[in-house]
Chains A and B, each alone.
Chain A
Amino acid sequence: MRRTLAIARAEWIHNLRDPRSLFVIVVLPVVLLLLYGYGINYDLRHIPFAVWDLSGTTVSRDLVQSFVASGYFRLRHVVIHQEEVAGLLDGGDVIFVMVIPPDLAQRLGASRPAKVQVLLSGADTTRASVAQGYIEAALLQASQALATRAQLRSGTTGRIPPGFGISTTILYNPSLNSTRFIVPGLIAVLLTILAALLTSTAVVREREWSSFETLVTSPVRAPNIMLGKMAPYVLIAFVDVLLSIVTGVLVFHVEPVGSVALLLAVSFLYLLASLSIGMLFSTVMKTQQLAILVTMLTTLLPTTLLSGFAFPLRSMPTVLQAVSNVIPATHFLIVIRSIYLKGAGLDVLWPRVAVLALFALALTVLAAKRFEKRL
């Protein structure tokens, strides 16, 4: 135990005194978060849309005007014929088409709710989900403006007119219900990079320094070395997970719906799998550069491309879907998104969590077996 702690302590010091490690631990998460934050903020402005105004009244024109004035939407086209709608969405010219019903003014005048139909393109899930949130907000605001005006006109505080309702139809990807999943996705990517990258270099670094030769001749056992080397990264990774959650709340306004404790517990399982993959690499690699390169290619790319982080699994070819099943990140992503966005608990998630636990166990055992005290 004391040996493991001594190794963990030394590993901790290596990281603290190595600018490169500090970069990966502190700067990389921040850079990634900012990159994604910037990407999303960029998309938030000037969302292109089209209007099919069947009402053609002052109220409907005011509504469209309020959308444009908000700065979040840009009116690209005014639809005259119904046939145009499909083409606009298919071609990606607009993200959504707002259909204003013919009886809008009448319903509002009669203090009945008036539904505005929104046809939303789900092809770009991220933009679609963000757009949806903004449309709802804009409509709510327009309703409030309408109500205020009505009150001013009547001079009473009597009945407030119900305002605009919304009926959203999402095209192409109707299951777009887990909104803003970028933050939990980012946690998965961070854990993958950190864990695999840092552990694989942790042992390879010893080889480069030839300190491994002295360590090998000492009576410390291989599992102690492995455990001691992994321990600091568990701590570092947990700090980065918490950092991601906090940044998610502050920058993206995404708060975890489910249990943070469960989130951390599942992260720990995934972390074990990732750390063990890194340890496995370290047994083969001879230089840090090679370790970094190979780790990037074999963990980061599948995690971002094949796990459903960037592209929906459902839209992948069957072969790739099968491949994605053997990537721990795939299961972790589903679990963490469900906890984060839907507030799902173990009662629902246990099969995926079991798969993750199996991955963690298998990879840890494999790494422990392959990790030898040999040069």
Chain B
Amino acid sequence: MIAIPLAVEVDHLVRRFGDFVAVDDVSFTVNQGEVFGFLGPNGSGKSTTIRILCGLLAPSGGHAVVAGLDVWRQAEGIRAQMGYMPQFFSLYGDLTGAENIEFYAAMYSVPPAEIRRRLDFLAERLELGSVLNRLTRTLSTGWRQRLALATAIAHQPPLVFLDEPTSGVDPVTRRLFWDVIADLAHDGATVFVTTHVMDEAEHCTHLAMMHYGKLIAQGPPEQMRRDLVSSLVQVQSERIWDALQALQGAPQIHEVALFGEALHAEVAAEVADPEERVRQVLASAHVPVASVQRVAPTMEDVFVSLARRYERPTTAGRDA
């Protein structure tokens, strides 16, 4: 068996802010070369976790190790290996894009000649163009995010933390970002990326889902789809509301949700023929059916299904 060196190891990690538990007993590992998608809605503890991993926040309990070093006590030993793009705009507003990239590259001790080479490469890869010569405070969110990404990867770190890189970014730029992330992984880097857009999870090689501070599932995307959503059946009917009512609470049917003009019903895994089971329920309720067919679940289906299994805590979540 070939041992895969661990890039990130998180063990029973807890972080409290007063009484509020932002990260609640979370454990996972990230292997080298993975694109690790850290999913969850706003306020689920993603940013808190990423900031602990970057050595910005002390854990309240448990511990996290990056490249064999404790992220809090040995933080300085890891920094040179890391790139970090925070959730909020954190470049210097009164410096131009190029000046920002040059500044941070210098912080990571990139030689001047190499900085110029990287600047050219990033300008081309992220299509930065004339934006490099403008003060970043004058730029729109999309351009700022491009520059922030360029800054985070300018020193070619083997481990990259990206906190919601695609928030506020148009679909074309979004696609560009995921292409760049794929390149990074292809070149051997480990990319740890958070997002609350579930569909973006398809770009990741491994996923972890956060919900109210707890890690509720993890694995490769296809495995999560296979394991976690029992069987997903799509129903089309003229009387869609009646169908919804008939299926809700029916035995062996876990979840029903409206999905556009159709219904998605989650049928228990032990049911051999989930389509037949749905037909039976609807027939006994005398609801006419246009079509019933199994569909591949989207990541959103997976998340909704998982989220509903966990009770809502009374305290409201927040993204700290």
Binding site for B on A (CB under 8 A): 2-3, 5-7, 9-10, 13-14, 17-18, 209-221, 373-375
Q: Is B104 among interface residues, defined by CB-CB distance under 8 A?
A: yes
A213–B56 touching, CB < 8 Å: yes
B80 to chain A, nearest CB (A): 4
A211 touches B91 (CB 8 A): yes
Provide 18 A-B residue pairs closer than 8 Å at the C-beta atoms, listed in order of the A residue.
A2-B109, A3-B107, A6-B103, A7-B107, A10-B103, A13-B94, A13-B95, A14-B92, A210-B86, A210-B89, A210-B90, A211-B91, A212-B90, A213-B56, A217-B79, A218-B79, A218-B108, A373-B76
Name which residue of chain B comes closest to A14, CB basis: B94
- B297 CB within 8 Å of chain A: no
Given the known A-B contacts A6-B103, A6-B107, A10-B99, are A219 and B94 also in contact in the complex, defined by CB atoms under 8 Å? no
Instruction: Determine how close the nearest CB of chain A comes to the CB of B126; give it in whole angstroms.
Output: 17
Q: B82 an interface residue at 8 Å Cβ cutoff?
A: yes
Q: Does B230 contact A (CB under 8 A)?
A: no
Do the beta carbons of A10 and B92 come within 8 Å of each other? Answer: yes
Instruction: Give B104 Cβ to nearest chain A Cβ, in Å.
Output: 6
Given A217-B56, A375-B56 in contact, is the A2-B86 Cβ separation under 8 Å? Answer: no
Q: Are A2 and B106 in contact (CB under 8 A)?
A: yes
Do A219 and B109 touch (CB < 8 A)? yes
In whole Å, how far is A111's beta carbon from the nearest beta carbon of chain B?
Answer: 74
Please give, as numbers and ranges, the residues of chain A lying within 8 Å of B106 by CB-CB distance: 2-3, 5-6
Q: Cα distance A287–B19 when bound, in Å?
A: 26
8 Å CB contacts to A: which residues of B147-171?
A: 151
Closest residue on chain B to residue A6 by CB atoms: B106
B161 to chain A, nearest CB (A): 8
- Chain A residues with CB under 8 Å of B94's CB are 13-14, 17-18
With the chains together, A18 CA to B106 CA distance in Å?
A: 23
B93 within 8 A of A: yes
Indicate which residue in B90, B92, B104, B107 contacts A213 across the interface (CB closer than 8 Å). B90
Q: Which residues of A contact B177 (CB under 8 A)?
A: none
Closest to A215 in B: B107
A174 to B109, CA, bound (A): 62
Please measure, in the bound complex, the distance between the C-alpha atom of A234 and the C-alpha atom of B109, giving whole angstroms: 25
> Using a CB-CB cutoff of 8 Å, which residues 104-121 of chain B contact chain A?
104, 106-109
Partner of B93, one of A3, A209, A212, A220: A209
**Bound Cα distance A300, B210 (Å):** 51
Q: Given known contacts A209-B92, A210-B88, A210-B90, is B151 in contact with A3 (CB within 8 Å)? A: no
A15: nearest chain-B partner, CB-CB? B94
Q: Give A210 to B93 CA distance when docked, in angstroms.
A: 11
B54 sits at the interface (CB 8 A): yes
Decide yes or no whether B36 CB sits under 8 A from chain A. no
The CA of A375 and the CA of B57, in the complex, are separated in Å by 8
- Contacts A13-B95, A373-B76, A375-B57 known; list 15 others, CB within 8 Å: A5-B106, A10-B99, A10-B103, A17-B94, A18-B94, A210-B88, A213-B56, A213-B86, A217-B55, A217-B79, A217-B82, A217-B84, A218-B79, A219-B79, A219-B80
Cβ of A2 to closest chain B Cβ, rounded Å:
6
On B, residues with C-beta under 8 Å from A are 54-57, 76, 79-80, 82, 84, 86, 88-95, 99, 102-104, 106-109, 135, 151
Listed residue (A3, A210, A213, A218) with the most chain B CB atoms within 10 angstroms of its CB: A218
Given the complex, which residues of A lie within 8 Å of B82, measured CB to CB?
217
A214–B104 CB distance below 8 A? yes
Q: Are A219 and B90 in contact (CB under 8 A)?
A: no
* B107 partner, pick from A210, A218, A375, beta carbons under 8 A: A218
**B86 nearest in chain A by CB position:** A213
B57, B84, B106, B151 — most chain A CB neighbours (10 Å): B106
Closest to A374 in B: B56
Residues of chain B within 8 A (CB-CB) of A9 are 103
Write out the residue numbers on chain A whose beta carbons fall within 8 Å of the beta carbon of B89: 210
* Minimum-distance CB pairs A-B, first 10: A6-B106, A219-B79, A218-B107, A219-B80, A17-B94, A217-B84, A210-B90, A220-B107, A214-B90, A211-B90
**Closest Cβ of chain B: how far from A152's Cβ, in Å?**
71
Q: With A2-B106, A14-B92 given, is the CB distance from A214 to B55 under 8 Å?
A: no
Per the bound structure, the CA–CA distance linking A18 and B137 in Å amounts to: 13
A95 to chain B, nearest CB (A): 52
A112 to chain B, nearest CB (A): 73
Q: Of B79, B89, B92, which is in contact with the most chain A CB atoms at under 10 Å from its CB? A: B92
Complex: chain A residue closest to B83, CB-CB: A217
Given known A-B contacts A213-B56, A214-B151, A219 and B86 have beta carbons under 8 A apart:
no
Q: How far is the CB of A321 from chain B (nearest CB, A)?
A: 45
A205 and B86 CA atoms in complex are apart in Å by 17
Instruction: Please give the distance in Å from B61's CB to the nearest CB on chain A.
Output: 19
* Cα of A219 to Cα of B135 in the assembled complex, Å: 25
CA distance A6 to B101 in the complex (A): 11
Cα–Cα distance between A212 and B56 once the two chains are bound (Å): 10
A6 to B89 alpha-carbon distance, docked (Å): 21
Given A14-B92, A211-B90, CB of A217 within 8 Å of CB of B109: no
Residues of B within 8 A of A219 (CB): 76, 79-80, 107-109
A211 and B94 CA atoms in complex are apart in Å by 11
Asked if A216 and B56 make an inter-chain contact with CB atoms under 8 angstroms apart, the answer reads yes
Provide the residues of chain B in CB contact with A221, threshold 8 Å.
Answer: 76
Chain B positions within 8 Å of A7 at CB level:
107
A14 to B96, alpha carbons, bound, how many Å? Answer: 11
Distance in angstroms between the alpha carbons of A7 and B80 in the assembled complex: 17
**In angstroms, how far is the closest chain A Cβ from the Cβ of B233?**
46
Q: Which residues of A lie under 8 Å from residue B86 when comparing CB positions?
A: 210, 213-214
B76 to chain A, nearest CB (A): 7
Q: What is the bound-complex CA distance between A10 and B105, given in angstroms?
A: 13
Residues on A with C-beta less than 8 A from B135 are 17
Separation in Å of the A6 CB from the closest CB of chain B?
4
Write out the residue numbers on chain B whose beta carbons fall within 8 Å of the beta carbon of A375: 56-57
